[in-house]
């Protein structure tokens, strides 16, 4: 897939665990894990907004397009 999810990078920069982020954005651990590992097929804007707010970052810090 051409979209890379850098959620683990931002979590490491903010020193935040998956459990902590899960509580802050009100998502299950399994859903966050799917997103973190790049297995998600889509993300809702309100979910992306909540993650950005919790990690104090921009959507571009989490999602990256890698063209061929």
Per-residue pLDDT at 24 exceeds 90 = yes
| Residue 39 scores a pLDDT above 80 | yes
Chain-centre distance for alpha carbon 38? 9
Q: How confident is the model at residue 18 (pLDDT cuts 50, 70, 90)?
A: very high
Distance from C-alpha of 42 to C-alpha of 45, rounded to nearest angstrom = 10
Q: According to the 3-state scheme, what is the secondary structure of the chain?
A: CCEEECHHHHHHHCCCCHHHHHHHHCCCHHHHHHHHCCCCCCCCHHHHHHHHHHHCCCHHHHEEECCC
What domains lie within the chain, and their CATH numbers? 3-65 (1.10.260.40)
Smallest Cα–Cα separation from 49: which of 28, 25, 32? 25
Please compute the mean of the pLDDT values over residues 38-44 and round it to a whole number. Answer: 92
Q: What is the mean pLDDT of the chain?
A: 94
Per-residue tokens: 49: 């907004």
**pTM attached to this predicted model:** 0.90
């Amino acid at each position: 897939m051409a979209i890379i999810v850098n959620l683990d990078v931002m979590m490491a920069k903010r020193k935040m665990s998956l459990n902590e982020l899960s509580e802050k954005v009100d998502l299950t651990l399994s859903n966050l894990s799917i997103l973190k590992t790049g297995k998600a097929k889509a993300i809702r804007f309100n979910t992306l907004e909540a993650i950005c707010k919790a990690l104090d970052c921009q959507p571009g810090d989490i999602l990256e397009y890698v063209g061929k």
